[in-house]
Chains A and B, each alone.
Chain A
Amino acid sequence: DTGVSQNPRHKITKRGQNVTFRCDPISEHNRLYWYRQTLGQGPEFLTYFQNEAQLEKSRLLSDRFSAERPKGSFSTLEIQRTEQGDSAMYLCASSPRLARSYNEQFFGPGTRLTVL
């Protein structure tokens, strides 16, 4: 178990381009989360999967954002027609299914996106 991994670690793109990020959760973790963190702020929730089902989406997730988790394993986050305001660190986290309802989330290193 090597922890949550994210690729790429850094992405620089031009405004208007599409980008896709990948997250590989810890094995056997059935819950996967995406957060966005801008400079000087705490992470903000974007969306959440339980297995392959996307169960919750934040208002922050505009129509240009789409997330998938095929087969309930890795997840991808795609941003279409990127804008400079999309520049941020995108964090992925996973958590196991536990009998207790609290969900300790294990975070990946993040993908830093810079939109020029």
Chain B
Amino acid sequence: AQTVTQSQPEMSVQEAETVTLSCTYDTSENNYYLFWYKQPPSRQMILVIRQEAYKQQNATENRFSVNFQKAAKSFSLKISDSQLGDTAMYFCARGGATNKLIFGTGTLLAVQP
């Protein structure tokens, strides 16, 4: 099955602290892409970061970085210096040759002041 699994339904972190969200996936494709999307309470999905599977270097975008372990099919998101505006649902997603995105069930992150 071509699935994406997020095993943490909810996470909480103190403002300015670091938090890591987990994601594992399954695929039979060699060329694929991984994404983390953020869905704030207003519910518009926003791309946070992406990773091409053929790249060994982990992607980073300001306070957001990933730990991509291709052999383990693991793709975790690290948020450093957490801010109140980071409070949202975070979805891990996989894309590939079929163009559609396959999403996990999401992790609700609450940043506490």
Give the interface of A toward B (CB within 8 A): 31, 33, 35, 40-45, 48, 55-56, 58, 89, 91, 93, 101-110
Contact = CB atoms under 8 A, between A and B. Distances in A.
A56 B45 contact: no
B99 A104 contact: no
Interface of B: 4, 31, 33, 35, 37, 42-47, 50, 52, 91, 93, 95, 97-106
Contacts of A89: 43
A103 B78 CA distance: 23
Contacts, number: 61
Nearest to B42: A109
B61 to A, nearest CB: 13
B100 A45 contact: yes
B33 A42 contact: no
A116 to B, nearest CB: 21
A91 B95 CA distance: 17
24 contacts: A40-B106, A41-B105, A41-B106, A42-B4, A42-B93, A42-B106, A43-B101, A45-B100, A45-B102, A48-B99, A48-B100, A55-B99, A56-B98, A58-B100, A89-B43, A93-B101, A101-B31, A101-B97, A102-B33, A102-B95, A103-B95, A106-B47, A108-B44, A109-B44
Among A31, A93, A102, which residue has the most Cβ atoms of chain B within 10 A? A102
Contact of A103 (B31, B99, B105, B106): B99
B91 A31 contact: no
A107 B35 CA distance: 13
A91 B44 CA distance: 9
Contacts of B35: 104
A42 to B, nearest CB: 3
Contacts of A41: 105-106
